[in-house]
Structure 1
Amino acid sequence: MPRKSATTQRSQQHGEPARGPHTAPAPQKQITGKRAYWLGIAFLAVAALLIGRLFWVQVIIGDDLREQANDQRSRTYVDRARRGEIVDRDGNKMAYTMQARSLTVSPVQLRSELKEQQELQMRVDGLSNEDIAAQVDARVEDVLRTMANEIPGMIGDGEVVSDTPANTATAEPTTKVGQVSAKEILDKLHADSSYEVLVRNVDPDVAARVAETFHGIAADHQDIRQYPNGAVGENIIGKVSMDGQGQFGLEASRDADLTGIDGRSTEDVSAGGQSIPGSLRDVVPAVGGSRIELTIDLDLQTYVQQALEQAKANSLAKEAQAVVLDAHTGEVLAMANTDAINPNGDIEQQIKKGKDFENPSVSHPFEPGSVAKVITAAAAIDQGLTDPFEVHQVPGSIDMAGITVRDAWEHGVMPYTTAGIFGKSSNVGTLQLAQRLGEERYADYLNRFGIGQSTGIELPNESSGLLPVLEQWSGGTFANLPIGQGMSWTALQMASVYQALANDGERIQPRIIASITGPDGEPIPQEEPEHTRVVSEQAARTTVDMFRSAFQEDPAGINNGTAQGNTLEGYQFSGKTGTAQKVNPDTGAYSQSAYWITFAGIAPANDPRFVVAVMLDEPQRGVLHGGSGGQSAAPVFKQIAGWLLNRENVPLSPPAEPYRLQGE
């Protein structure tokens, strides 16, 4: 048996493995230790990076990321406030809002999402990448054309005008409903924009079905402003824009009251667009607009507009205006003009025909003519300078500061009473009385009657008219103003002058808003109209009674007035005719052929209830059928006053003695 070496014996004694005489020692432990060391270093480095990243994400930019995440999944919804109603004095609606929807889309986003959907579907169908790239655009176009053709049919009775199929990329859109055509919709779907309105004024239920049927179509809330009376009262009411903002009339001037406050809410949605239950928050309910009740009488407004349109057509006038006031409150019962636009019709075509949204009764002043003589009459009586029965020696002309003024008819010196001066509308006699007053006192009465001042009515674009200040009066100014030339009034100002006299000498600021009711049903306080004492009660009553002379009829022609033939059996009327020369724009002088024809009157004269002011711009003949009725606006006054007295069952006037207009 071979003998073991001493080395082998020592190794076995100490438990070490035996080694062959020629085997080198293996560095296993050393290699394993180094690997573990570097792995540990790498692990610590990665852990440090992850911890640093986690710290960065959660601590440094955590708030920003949370906000971005919230923005991505949260949706804020706006609940549009219902615009307030506008009604007449009896609650009849003149403007109100009906809810509808607008179909909207983001064309760029829609096409991108449709492309993703089609690519995914083609991959599911097993198409290759090359086939997908070749077909995806055509498939998206198919979807767009299908949408364009089917949407008009879904919102109404679509009429297909071609048999061209709508499900191929080469098909042309053919369906049209009213003004909504498939081609217009397709053009908008192709638009390079982030927002397009496909169709407006869609029924909410129909809009919801369209939105459910087609990906990417939204049914946005839309309010449709309704004007049930068409052109009647539109000069007062005005109109709102497509965005629901007031553009004209009360819709513009009272936009803040009518608009209300939109509501808002926030809700989270999933990636697929579904609402996440329990995530609704920050709910702020909408607050509707206020309800405005006008002093306007809708039936009267309708009648007056019809009467004016007929008068314009009969007389061939350029335009006509009329204002009706309550004699004792100054409330506007009607304010009408011709060529009022119908907001429910084709606006562009109507504008081409000369119609508009303007309200010239408050914005277009004119020279009033002899209607203004009532101020001279009331002032002279109020100052005790004359009475209706005084006889004046009135020549055919008068010279004032180098200006010669004549009456409308040739005559020598005539013994006209004060009542006769105004009943027959003598310019010379009026200026004789104005001279008794003097410039300063006459200017004071003009101020009391509100001439040259805005009335303060709650309507936009009111003109204050034109009145030169006393310091700027030239020699001829005082020869023109008392006979209604050289100053300008609006139809509302003209009515306001006569309202002051009908109301026992107290002018009340005209108002057109009766009340405003907030969305909570509580009335919103309004400023009280201003009251101005113009003349004494006795002077006002005397003046109103004296101006009955304008309506007098005398077969002999001695005691007849300028409005003869326009009385209403059983009633006393008081008023004044007017004819004012217009300025020729080419010469700057008064025209001898172009006139404003005016009339202002009170009904009934014995117990005033209504004031009516009428203006015709350049009538060529009478206002009655066939151009009859004389060159006067008095017949229009008679029509309106008669309609009111009959409807309101106003008691008949007691018999009254006519005035003596000419002395011995």
Structure 2
Amino acid sequence: MNQSNSRASRIRRKASSNTQFHNDTADPKNGLNRIADKPATGPAGGSTTGPGGGQRRIMLGRLRILSAGVFLLCLMVIARMAWVQLVWGPDLSSLAAEQRTRIYTDPARRGAITDRSGQQLAYTMQARSLTVSPNVLRRELPYVAKQQLASDENYVQGSEETRNQMIEAKVADIMTEYSEEIPKIIEKARTEKQAAKATKTVTGSTKGLKDAAKKSEVKPEDIVAKLKADSNYEVLVRNVDPDVAAGISEKYYGIAADLQDVRQYPNGAVASNVIGKISQDGQGQFGFESANDSLLSGINGRKSIEVSTDGQAIPGTVTDDVPATNGANVTLTLDLDLQTYVQQQLEQAKANSGAKSASAVVLDAKTAQVMAMATSDSIDPMGDIKKQLEQGKEFGNSTISAPFEPGSVAKIITAAGAIENGVTSPDEVHTVPGSIDMAGVNVKDAWDHGPAQYTTTGIFGKSSNVGTLMLAEKLGEDKFDQLLTGFGVGRATGIELPSESEGLLPQRAQWSGGTFANLPIGQGMSVTLLQMAGIYQAIANGGERIAPRIISEVRDGHGAVVAQPEPERTRVVSEETARTVVNMFRAVTQSDSSGLQQGTGSQAAVKGYQIAGKTGTAQQVDAATGAYSHSKYWITFAGIAPADDPRFVVALMLDNPQRGVHGEGGQSAAPLFHDIASWLLNRDNVPPSPPMEGQLVLQMQ
């Protein structure tokens, strides 16, 4: 009974306790407080208020902070990655590609220049330049020295100080070896090459060939100076044969053999006034090389390739592969053999006559192609340029850039106008006084004479200024002005060369009374030697002037012929007039023992051939007075050979000669014409002219 009661009592207390709990939690006033009074439980239902509960609460807080930090860090990393990929990605990718990419340039080969028969005038030869980085070499040579001393017992067993001294001595020996042995190797190779050339027949492409490398001696002291230079790049030697350079580069540590294109001018000074030269960076500087630089130079190729960190090319990564387009090969109208002969004759004539300079132009009479265009004192582009400039030599081409008053050689214009317009006939006799007044200007002949009976042919054969002006007056100023224009006076010819002068011709509206007293006798205007040759070419070509040209053919880098524009053609006078004038001007070269029927240029005659031409003597302007000088002259001659079947036109000019071209008395260029025309007619096996019937009548007794 007591036990039952006791059990029932416990059950009621338990129920009461449970009821009280639920009532407490439902009490809006006390529920929260009572809950707070209950013991705290941990994650597993354990209490945190008991022993160790505070530590667990701190750890839990830290864990939550750490979790939040990791979450934020991950979020930042993800955001950063997104930024790098989406924003920086393209730029970084491009930068990486640039770091891996190497761009290689494939240099275009400069085109060759040859004469009309294919003989080389200029071409490009592959060579090498021996180069070094002095600063790098001096840092690395001690390591090279250590390797060479590795088998030396004194070095191996020596103290550190001894080894350092041996390394320094070894480096000095290596430097000495570089400076002494490299020049010896190069000189030996050059000597052997020259000896091999000397055994060849001097014909074709080997004629006049020079070794560009021999122009400068390799000196040991120069090598030493460059090896000791405070520099990251020095050229030790230029123009080294590729095989020799490769051997030196392989034998001597730190020496590189860089590719170098060397422009060769195998004929030295011959035609250098026409060809010109290029600079060290490969650009045309003078002459044809300059005027046609873009045509000759071509277009460099290029390609991009990616490389690994050790510099090796990555297969399959070549992009932007553009092949080089080599420069065009150009064939000129020049005749190298003729050019060589003419240039030699000019040098001799200058020396013999004491002239300041001498020049010549030879044209094909039918095509106006320039066969020779020579000047004295031309520079050898393969020689010491500075030294030659000091000697008065030059790259200029005075035949197109230095106009001068032609003098009587231009009287052929007046003659052509008079015949073309029916003013006179070759055999008409004129009473020519010793002087003439034209618009207040008194003009005399070069020799004193009273009234003389000259034929029209004789007026020009004797070179009478007075007779020429008499015919010009009948022709009239307007027609004469038209003739000057037709013959190309005062206009550039358009030759494919730089620095061509137009010459000087007063505009018709600017003529004064004295102008017409000068122009018909070759004064008061200036022409280049090429323009003067063009006047005679028009007469020799049946009255049609063709603009002179020096390009015969152009082939592009692929070998295809590049069409060239046709030269301008101008009908100046009729064929009949031209033929008549050519026959009249044979009188200039006619000889007569009595002197009565002798022309002013008899020394130009060539045995077996009919020659037509005209002498000229023009006063130069005295710089001090501004008036015509009585001691300084331009001496000229222009002629056609042969006159019966014109093949060649030769025009010559001597600047202020003191004697004849052979050192004889007088100041005539006629003998020089004889020498050049004779050589040319003989070389080309031109058939002799039919004998002339009697003499031309120049003067009536």
TM-score by length of 1: 0.86
Q: 2:461 aligned with 1:390, yes or no?
A: no
Deviation at 1:428, TM superposition (A): 0.7
The secondary structure found in structure 2 opposite 1:66 is helix
Deviations along 1:477-517, one digit per CA (max 9) or x if unpaired, are: 11111111111111101110000000111111111101111
- Paired residue total: 621
CA distance in 1 between counterparts of 2:230 and 2:306 reads 29
Alignment of 1:82-121 (within 5 A): 82-104=109-131
Alignment of 1:264-663 (within 5 A): 264-624=302-662, 627-628=663-664, 630-657=666-693, 658-663=695-700
Alignment of 1:62-77 (within 5 A): 62-77=89-104
CA distance in 1 between counterparts of 2:550 and 2:226 reads 44
Greater helix content: 2
CA distance in 2 between counterparts of 1:270 and 1:136 reads 35
> Does the 8 A contact of 1:80 with 1:221 survive in 2?
no
Report the more deviating stretch, 464-473 or 25-34.
25-34
CA distance in 2 between counterparts of 1:55 and 1:118 reads 54
Counterpart residue type for residue 580 of structure 1: A
Deviation at 1:48, TM superposition (A): 3.5
Name the CA shift for 1:353/1:555 in 2 (closer, same or farther; >3 Å): same
> Does the 8 A contact of 1:89 with 1:293 survive in 2?
yes
Name the CA shift for 1:660/1:30 in 2 (closer, same or farther; >3 Å): same
CA distance in 2 between counterparts of 1:180 and 1:526 reads 45
Counterpart residue type for residue 655 of structure 1: P
> Does the 8 A contact of 1:330 with 1:496 survive in 2?
yes
Match of 1:10? none
Deviation at 1:209, TM superposition (A): 5.0
Counterpart residue type for residue 306 of structure 1: Q
Name the CA shift for 1:217/1:274 in 2 (closer, same or farther; >3 Å): farther
Gaps of 5+ in 2: 1-49, 147-155, 157-163, 190-214
Q: 2:51 aligned with 1:51, yes or no?
A: no
Deviations along 1:620-640, one digit per CA (max 9) or x if unpaired, are: 11111xx12742101111111
Deviation at 1:44, TM superposition (A): 3.1
> Does the 8 A contact of 2:226 with 2:236 survive in 1?
yes
CA distance in 1 between counterparts of 2:165 and 2:63 reads 55
Counterpart residue type for residue 638 of structure 1: H
The secondary structure found in structure 1 opposite 2:388 is helix
The secondary structure found in structure 2 opposite 1:361 is helix
> Does the 8 A contact of 2:606 with 2:677 survive in 1?
no
Deviation at 1:282, TM superposition (A): 2.6
CA distance in 1 between counterparts of 2:540 and 2:188 reads 59
Match of 1:255 among 290, 293, 313: 293
> Does the 8 A contact of 2:429 with 2:455 survive in 1?
yes
Q: Report the aligned-residue RMSD.
A: 3.4
Report the more deviating stretch, 375-384 or 110-119.
110-119
Report the more deviating stretch, 219-228 or 589-598.
219-228
Deviation at 1:474, TM superposition (A): 1.8
> Does the 8 A contact of 2:603 with 2:670 survive in 1?
no
Name the CA shift for 1:623/1:432 in 2 (closer, same or farther; >3 Å): same
CA distance in 1 between counterparts of 2:446 and 2:379 reads 38
Counterpart residue type for residue 584 of structure 1: D
CA distance in 1 between counterparts of 2:253 and 2:241 reads 19
Deviations along 1:29-81, one digit per CA (max 9) or x if unpaired, are: 44543454344344334433433443343332222222222222321111110
Name the CA shift for 1:55/1:111 in 2 (closer, same or farther; >3 Å): farther
CA distance in 2 between counterparts of 1:446 and 1:278 reads 68
- % of aligned pairs identical? 59
Match of 2:8? none
Report the more deviating stretch, 498-507 or 106-115.
106-115
Counterpart residue type for residue 661 of structure 1: L
CA distance in 2 between counterparts of 1:64 and 1:546 reads 84
CA distance in 1 between counterparts of 2:607 and 2:241 reads 55
Name the CA shift for 1:205/1:276 in 2 (closer, same or farther; >3 Å): farther
> Does the 8 A contact of 2:603 with 2:674 survive in 1?
no
> Does the 8 A contact of 1:599 with 1:633 survive in 2?
yes
Deviations along 1:144-190, one digit per CA (max 9) or x if unpaired, are: 888667765665559xxxxxxxxxxxxxxxxxx96445554565566
Deviations along 1:289-335, one digit per CA (max 9) or x if unpaired, are: 00111111111000100111111111111100100001111111100
CA distance in 2 between counterparts of 1:530 and 1:27 reads 112
> Does the 8 A contact of 1:86 with 1:292 survive in 2?
yes
Match of 1:226? 264
Name the CA shift for 1:85/1:178 in 2 (closer, same or farther; >3 Å): closer
CA distance in 2 between counterparts of 1:44 and 1:182 reads 73
Counterpart residue type for residue 659 of structure 1: L
Deviation at 1:466, TM superposition (A): 0.8
Match of 2:25? none
CA distance in 1 between counterparts of 2:100 and 2:254 reads 17
> Does the 8 A contact of 2:604 with 2:672 survive in 1?
no
The secondary structure found in structure 1 opposite 2:490 is coil
Report the more deviating stretch, 204-213 or 271-280.
204-213
CA distance in 1 between counterparts of 2:129 and 2:103 reads 18
Counterpart residue type for residue 405 of structure 1: V
CA distance in 2 between counterparts of 1:333 and 1:450 reads 20
CA distance in 2 between counterparts of 1:406 and 1:156 reads 67
The secondary structure found in structure 2 opposite 1:601 is strand
CA distance in 2 between counterparts of 1:512 and 1:522 reads 19
Gaps of 5+ in 1: 1-22, 120-124, 126-132, 159-176
Counterpart residue type for residue 95 of structure 2: Q
CA distance in 1 between counterparts of 2:87 and 2:612 reads 86
Match of 1:14? none
Counterpart residue type for residue 562 of structure 1: T
CA distance in 1 between counterparts of 2:314 and 2:175 reads 30
Alignment of 1:6-155 (within 5 A): 24-25=51-52, 27=54, 29-104=56-131, 152=183
Counterpart residue type for residue 80 of structure 1: P
The secondary structure found in structure 2 opposite 1:638 is helix
CA distance in 1 between counterparts of 2:387 and 2:255 reads 32
Deviation at 1:557, TM superposition (A): 1.4
CA distance in 2 between counterparts of 1:52 and 1:298 reads 78
Counterpart residue type for residue 549 of structure 1: A
Deviation at 1:440, TM superposition (A): 1.2
Report the more deviating stretch, 355-364 or 215-224.
215-224
> Does the 8 A contact of 1:629 with 1:635 survive in 2?
no
> Does the 8 A contact of 2:414 with 2:480 survive in 1?
yes
Counterpart residue type for residue 484 of structure 1: G
The secondary structure found in structure 1 opposite 2:505 is coil
Deviation at 1:262, TM superposition (A): 0.7
Deviation at 1:287, TM superposition (A): 1.1
Counterpart residue type for residue 660 of structure 1: V
The secondary structure found in structure 1 opposite 2:644 is coil
The secondary structure found in structure 2 opposite 1:560 is coil
> Does the 8 A contact of 1:623 with 1:629 survive in 2?
no
| Structure showing greater Rg | 2
Deviations along 1:406-429, one digit per CA (max 9) or x if unpaired, are: 111111100111111111111111
Report the more deviating stretch, 561-570 or 101-110.
101-110
Name the CA shift for 1:506/1:28 in 2 (closer, same or farther; >3 Å): same
